[in-house]
Structure 1
Amino acid sequence: MTPTLVQHRPRAASSAQASARARDWAEIQERMLVPLYEAVYERLEVGSGTRLLGLGCGSGLALLIAAGRGARVTGVDTDRERLALARERLAPAAGGDAGARDAGARDAGAELLEGEVSAAAVPAGLTYNLVTAFRPIGCAAGDTEDLGPELEAAVTLAERGGAVVLAGWGPPDRCATSGVLRVAGRPADRMRTAGGWRPALRDDLEDVAAKAGLKPDGSGRVSCPFGYADMESAVRGLLSTGLYATAIQASGQSEVEKEITEALHPHRRRDGTVWMPNMFRYLIARTP
């Protein structure tokens, strides 16, 4: 595969804070969605015949699990810091310079690309039989619209009848984390700025699939509890999702951390751990 799968967007230089957020995502938060990844892969019998394109692959845990089942995986993300961690995870051997690690990932059947999917730049004949968008939609204002163009481009890379998987938050009353995510919206609402939290809607996934020209072919629900060793880890993990960026811009880092901590108190156990049961949905759709 060539690196022309994506078109790069100009980015500001990465900061120490952005790198720390990416590391917190990889080490604390991303594992919360493992039950979702495994449920989807089991249902679709992901294995050696699978050619998977992961949209918003982040630090690569979902790709790593698929590769472990024998799939050939390609991951695309615009977050340079998370993608660097994905390269470390998917390289078969530790150590060596960045170029050596990239070569190792390719030898293992993994390709990790920074940018946005561009169907027009893909070499003729390159297709996937599974496209995943595991980044949950249905909790941030505008997230369904944001996914649309990328999904439509990815669909053109999928073979006819290929599976496309979308993931989203379950009903707010089945997701204890919903109350904590509301913190992402409150400062933004006071400032009347775009972004922030919104409640998940019943047909979020179906609406996105329909706009991309996909035909639903099954769905499921998966329990994905969020569990943290202590309050500090919980705050760091939640901040690493990026859902609080607008709130931080509106009210400042310390204020948002304070509000998240307050919202987490009902979920703190006597031993200091934090536990929030959640339900996630996934939709399997087919390309025309």
Structure 2
Amino acid sequence: MASARTTGTTERPAGARSRDPQPTGAWPARARDWAEIQERMLVPLHEAVYDRLEVGPATSVLGLGCRSGLALLLAAGRGAQVAGLEPQDELRELARGRRLQVGASARTTAAVPRSAYSLVTVFEQLPGAADPQRVVTEAARLTLRGGHVVLAAWGPPERCESAPVLDVARRMAGRTTARDPFGLSSPGALEDLLAPAGLRPAGSGRVGCPFAYPDLDSAVRGLLSTGLFDAAAEFSGLPLVAKELAEVLHPYLRPDGSVRMENVFRYLVAEQPGQPGQPR
């Protein structure tokens, strides 16, 4: 069984100062930054969902937009059958390097072994999605009747210390179509996506997900790897966006040089009506 352990970043000695961030815009490097720095920040969210739905050997899990696959590894560690879909090539290859079955699209690949799953998760994809409704409709299509879809989004901005940092993405994107990461954080926003997809609500929750980094450089690289700053980097240039990120992160620097921001994420559990275990 694949291990749920991830590669960590190198810690600097206490009191050491970080060098100026020098992030790269190349996707392979950003994919590695996601896998090595950022993906573990959402582990409390993944575990809370799996605990609530009692994920185990009887569960088949599909991760939509699974990125490098940590959430799937955690489900596999509970005995679940797992697969994922990830459109970004470098992230998909990292997931496959973890011996996960991950395809680019359910409609164009045979890399995922089933046509429908008892649990479909959308943990990371919605905040940056151009068309969230389309994502949820696709998740519903891939869910067995009686199964569940889980959607996740940032909590209220006033509960997230990363909100001023994420605002860099909006301010530096000019007139491009950059999405507001908190666009689905208002009351009822996630719920509004369910009925058009044929789903019904079945519970929700909020989970604390601190963003903690050993130093400023890791914080900048980790945040850039989320994809939320892509439009800003394209419009204003990556070096300028990285510099601005470093500036707005200074209030969250600790005396030992580490960075920590307290955040809240919200998840919504939806049910696919019908006889459990039957295809949609």
TM-score in same-fold range (> 0.5):
yes
Alignment of 1:260 with 2:248, yes or no, is: no
Counterpart CA distance in 2 for 1:250 and 1:16 is 13
Between 147-156 and 158-167, report the one with greater CA deviation: 147-156
Secondary structure of residue in 2 paired with 1:117: coil
Alignment of 1:287 with 2:272, yes or no, is: yes
What's the CA shift for 1:148? 2.4
Counterpart CA distance in 2 for 1:35 and 1:212 is 27
**Deviations 1:182-207, CA, capped at 9 Å, x for gaps:** 0000022xx32211435332222112
1:112 alignment partner AA: V
The equivalent position to 1:62 in structure 2, one of 59, 71, 78, is 71
What's the CA shift for 1:121? 8.8
The equivalent position to 2:144 in structure 1, one of 154, 159, 175, is 159
Alignment of 1:127 with 2:116, yes or no, is: yes
**Deviations 1:72-98, CA, capped at 9 Å, x for gaps:** 011001011011111112x2xxxxxxx
1:113 alignment partner AA: G
2:131 alignment partner AA: D
Residue number in structure 2 paired with 1:80: 89
Residue number in structure 2 paired with 1:117: 106
Counterpart CA distance in 2 for 1:177 and 1:75 is 28
Two-structure CA RMSD over aligned residues (Å):
2.3
**Deviations 1:134-176, CA, capped at 9 Å, x for gaps:** 01634x4xx3x52322332332232112110000100001000
Unaligned runs of 5+ residues in structure 2 are 1-23, 274-280
Aligned length: 248
The answer (yes or no) to whether the contact 1:117–1:153 under 8 Å persists in 2 is no
**Deviations 1:209-254, CA, capped at 9 Å, x for gaps:** 2332210000001000000000000000000001111101111111
Residue number in structure 1 paired with 2:16: none
Residue number in structure 2 paired with 1:6: none
Counterpart CA distance in 2 for 1:256 and 1:202 is 31
Counterpart CA distance in 2 for 1:153 and 1:52 is 15
Counterpart CA distance in 2 for 1:120 and 1:257 is 36
The equivalent position to 2:153 in structure 1, one of 161, 168, 172, is 168
Secondary structure of residue in 2 paired with 1:53: strand
Counterpart CA distance in 2 for 1:243 and 1:216 is 27
The answer (yes or no) to whether the contact 1:136–1:169 under 8 Å persists in 2 is no
Greater fraction helix = 1
Secondary structure of residue in 2 paired with 1:203: coil
2:218 alignment partner AA: S
Counterpart CA distance in 2 for 1:118 and 1:172 is 36
What's the CA shift for 1:127? 2.5
Counterpart CA distance in 2 for 1:118 and 1:202 is 33
Counterpart CA distance in 1 for 2:163 and 2:175 is 21
Unaligned runs of 5+ residues in structure 1 are 1-14, 92-109
Counterpart CA distance in 2 for 1:198 and 1:40 is 21
Higher relative contact order (CA 8 A, sep 6+): 2
Alignment of 1:251 with 2:236, yes or no, is: yes
- Assess, with a 3 A threshold, how the Cα gap between structure 1 residues 287 and 120 changes in structure 2: closer, same or farther: farther
Identity %: 53
